[in-house]
Structure 1
């Protein structure tokens, strides 16, 4: 497995949230980091779609 250069970020959350996220990652055979990255990618995609829709509404 090759080394991938990715930006590193840190966020804080409650112990309870971390435990639930870790359980979710385990169920999907993912690392916690990979689960969070996937969630962030989906959120960004959804925001872009929402923003584009909002821009279209304001133009016309």
Structure 2
């Protein structure tokens, strides 16, 4: 997670790419050697939504 945050912040500051939008998301995931399609698909699952809800209650 720390690697992703660093990558997205660098792109935000250096390239003026909004941190929570494309192309920053996919480019940052690729930079840290993660497959954007896989990560984003996993993030859209009900399990991910449930885990987020539990972690933030």
Superposition TM-score tier, normalisation by shorter sequence: 0.3 to 0.5
After TM superposition, the score normalised by the length of structure 2 is 0.36
Query: Comparing both chains, which one has the higher relative contact order based on Cα–Cα distances under 8 Å and sequence gaps of 6 or more?
Result: 2
Task: Look at both structures and tell me which one has the larger radius of gyration over its CA atoms.
Answer: 1
